[in-house]
Amino acid sequence: MTATTGGSAGALPPRTASASDTDSDTPAAAGGPDAAVRAMRRATDFLLARQDAEGWWKGDLETNVTMDAEDLLLRQFLGIRDEETTRAAALFIRGEQREDGTWATFHGGPGELSTTIEAYVALRLAGDAPDAPHMARAAQWVRAQGGIAAARVFTRIWLALFGWWKWEDLPELPPEVIWLPKWVPLNIYDFGCWARQTIVPLTIVSAQRPVRPAPFPLRELHTDSDRPRPARRRLPPAGWGGAFQQLDRLLHGYHRVAPRWLRRAAMNTAARWIIERQENDGCWGGIQPPAVYSLIALHLLGYDLEHPVMRAGLASLDRFAVWREDGSRMIEACQSPVWDTCLATIALADAGLPADHPQLVRAADWMLGEEIVRPGDWAVRTKRLAPGGWAFEFHNDNYPDIDDTAEVVLALRRVRHPDPERTDRAVARAVRWTLGMRSRDGAWAAFDVDNTSPFPNRLPFCDFGEVIDPPSADVTAHVVEMLAVEGLAHDPHTRRGVEWLLAAQEPNGSWFGRWGVNHVYGTGSVVPALTAAGLPAAHPAIRRAVAWLQTVQNDDGGWGEDLRSYREEQWIGRGASTASQTAWALIALLAAGERESKAVERGVEWLAGTQREDGSWDEPYFTGTGFPWDFSINYHLYRQVFPLTALGRYVHGDPYRDRTAAPPQGS
């Protein structure tokens, strides 16, 4: 990718903004239903051609350059950084730099301090001189934002590994936390699974406080090179902020007096916890950050690089690398084959591909083979629940998620598999597991039950991203839709989910999107679920959602929403039109019976008119969410599967019209 200048943090885009820079026909010239059919067929051919021989699909998962910078820092720490990897990573990082010298966390977003610091350090490792113009611009901007002292905790941990920051000036996280029982606040199972997998190895790193010789100084990133460590700002003793700051001071004191035998025992327990959760492919949780910190932690405890655990872990990280035609190397934070495959299967079925098409059968076969039938960390709070779900990644048996499980069931039900009993058994296990993963409030989170403790987010250590996993509207909607398709629209679990969704609707008529950007995603998920569960199109909640979608449609006929909507209300439903977000809006409107509306007509025209000749869409904008605002994702297959789903439902109608039932009176 080339460098992007992005937009300012405060300027809203005009309604005429368009995300497409292609040379295809304009939406106005695309023309009606025939154009929709042509676009659908071209998109079908494009998607079919990209299926792996084993049956899965996987698009690149693009995040930001901290993944690439931290990969180089890890290799520097372990002494395994090589010239080819460094050159390729630096080429990618340089290409992502904005004209003002900064790096953003999403396309078109503002410069971000911690990301810019980590990218700068990585380029220093690659040999870029601090007085080079692109480096000088970055350093000047960093200083203007407060320097290293203002960076997030995780960035300063990376710098502390090389002596560029003092361990004493970082929040303390003792390894003894591994022993806290699950009823004690701040035990490891109070954290979301992604945070839990990261925090456990970091407790070892925090206890060891290693420092490798710095290959160069970083005085240019401090606001005052003679005094790089500012005095800590004390919060008022009253209130949670002051209480947790006092707790951090106590933990720093404990670090100085902790008995060695006790600390060693805690670190060994944490190490066993880490090793037990290493996946068959060598990774941890199928995501890059826990793998990186686990490798550092185990190495500090004496595991050499030839140890099987370390070899497998390092090899797994190499599989996260995407080598590009220009010779650059991008690191994926995660890989999404299960998610991409179930969404692609649904899209192709909606586009009219026969249910017994060989490629759909291959996809179903592969998904059935990915079912997880052993307990994972979720069982800590649901011990009596039998397993039966799917994860997001190739290998992540410890952490299947409810969202993937619901969508895989929907996909499997769209395929006529030659062994229907096999499908039925897998679906039955998945439904039972999903019902057992419902939280007390009647809704579903992504990975765990009732992971809603208010304490983890208050820790000074946790200043980046979500660290708990409460129920969300988008996950709950996908479960409700799946249960309705399975004939459980009247089941009390489904009805409670519907009630939760109705109560969660925003005053403007939309729903908040936890795992996609943002209210357009939430609304695009919830409306089809409610109609599948039997709510009529005339229901007030659905009419409010339709009205909101019509209000935020762009002048060019598409829909878009910027990541800044997670922080700034004026961005809600606002942003340059994108293929995936336009599709989400259309899917909701079509489910609400709006096929003949002008809004749907214009949205379909936009999709048809911005499609490339090869059947794909261009989408540089990030429409996926890891942590709202803090960590954003560009799923490269979203731009393909969701438009195809929307076009298919526009051409062929509601895929569930004969498979769902009306709710009881009063819903």
CA angle 14, 572, 477 (to 5 degrees): 135
At 417, the amino acid letter reads H
For residues 462 and 220, the model is more confident at 220
Q: Do domains 27-59+336-452+471-652 and 62-218+246-331 have the same CATH topology?
A: yes
CATH of domain 27-59+336-452+471-652: 1.50.10.20
Write down the pLDDT at residue 662: 44
Alpha-carbon gap, residue 383 to 399, rounded angstroms:
15
CA angle 592, 594, 597 (to 5 degrees): 160
Nearest 10 degrees: Cα torsion 116, 119, 123, 124: 70
* pLDDT at residue 24 greater than cutoff 80: no
CATH of domain 62-218+246-331: 1.50.10.20
* pLDDT at residue 661 greater than cutoff 90: no
E strands of 17-67, at which residues?
Answer: 61-62
Alpha-carbon gap, residue 559 to 537, rounded angstroms:
21
Position 19 confidence tier, pLDDT thresholds 50, 70, 90: very low
Closest CA to 118 of 90, 144, 99: 90
User: Mind listing the pLDDT tens digit for each residue in 391-407?
Assistant: 999 999 999 999 999 99
Write down the pLDDT at residue 227: 45
* pLDDT at residue 229 greater than cutoff 60: no
For residues 273 and 33, the model is more confident at 273
Position 223 confidence tier, pLDDT thresholds 50, 70, 90: confident
Position 232 confidence tier, pLDDT thresholds 50, 70, 90: very low
Q: Which two tokens mark 625?
A: 């969410």
User: Mind listing the pLDDT tens digit for each residue in 114-157?
Assistant: 999 999 999 999 999 999 999 999 999 999 999 999 999 999 99
Position 282 confidence tier, pLDDT thresholds 50, 70, 90: very high
Burial tier of 369 (Cβ tally within 10 Å: 0-12, 13-18, 19+): exposed
* pLDDT at residue 319 greater than cutoff 50: yes
Using DSSP, state whether 12 is helix, strand or coil: coil
pLDDT, average across residues 338-345: 98
**Residue carrying the six token digits 């629940």:** 385
Write down the pLDDT at residue 22: 35
User: Mind listing the pLDDT tens digit for each residue in 43-101?
Assistant: 999 999 999 999 999 999 999 999 999 999 999 999 999 999 999 999 999 999 999 99
Please tell me the least confidently modeled range out of 266-280, 294-308, 449-463.
449-463
Write down the pLDDT at residue 30: 46
DSSP character string of 420-443: HHHHHHHHHHHHHHHHHT--TTS-
Position 8 confidence tier, pLDDT thresholds 50, 70, 90: very low
Write down the pLDDT at residue 45: 98
E strands of 465-564, at which residues?
Answer: none
- Say if CB 55 and CB 362 are below 8 A apart: yes
Strand 61-62, strand 329-331: pairing: unpaired
Write down the pLDDT at residue 665: 35
pLDDT, average across residues 167-194: 94
Write down the pLDDT at residue 458: 83
Domain boundaries along the sequence of the chain = 27-59+336-452+471-652, 62-218+246-331
- Say if CB 534 and CB 528 are below 8 A apart: no
CA angle 533, 499, 376 (to 5 degrees): 85
* CB burial readout 119-148, b (16+ within 10 A) else e: bbbbbbbbebebeeeebebbbebbbebebb
Position 254 confidence tier, pLDDT thresholds 50, 70, 90: confident
Tallying the residues shown for the chain, one arrives at 667
Position 524 confidence tier, pLDDT thresholds 50, 70, 90: very high
Position 10 confidence tier, pLDDT thresholds 50, 70, 90: very low
**Phi, psi (rounded to 5 degrees) for 632:** -115, 155
Alpha-carbon gap, residue 511 to 526, rounded angstroms:
7
Residue numbers annotated as active site: 403
pLDDT, average across residues 303-318: 96
Per DSSP, the chain holds a count of helices (H) and strands (E) of: 23, 5
* pLDDT at residue 16 greater than cutoff 70: no
- Say if CB 204 and CB 301 are below 8 A apart: yes
Please tell me the least confidently modeled range out of 396-405, 461-470, 589-598.
461-470
Q: Which two tokens mark 181?
A: 């029982």
pLDDT, average across residues 338-363: 98
Closest CA to 647 of 614, 618, 615, 625: 615
The rounded percent of the chain whose pLDDT value lies above 90 is: 86
Position 545 confidence tier, pLDDT thresholds 50, 70, 90: very high
Write down the pLDDT at residue 383: 87
Alpha-carbon gap, residue 394 to 282, rounded angstroms:
11
Alpha-carbon gap, residue 555 to 134, rounded angstroms:
37
User: Mind listing the pLDDT tens digit for each residue in 363-373?
Assistant: 999 999 999 99
The rounded percent of the chain whose pLDDT value lies above 70 is: 91
Average pLDDT, the chain: 91
Q: Which residues contact 224 (CB under 8 A, 6 or more apart)?
A: none
Residue ranges of the alpha helices (H) in 370-472?
402-412, 420-436
- Say if CB 466 and CB 422 are below 8 A apart: no
Write down the pLDDT at residue 658: 61
CA 52 from chain centre, in angstroms, equals: 23
pLDDT, average across residues 507-524: 98
The residues that bridge with 278 in the sheet, in sequence order, are 284
What is the torsional sign of CA 249, 251, 254, 255? negative
* pLDDT at residue 531 greater than cutoff 90: yes
SS (H, E, C) 247-302: HHHHHHHHHHHCCHHHHHHHHHHHHHHHHHCECCCCCECCEHHHHHHHHHHHHHCC
Write down the pLDDT at residue 230: 44
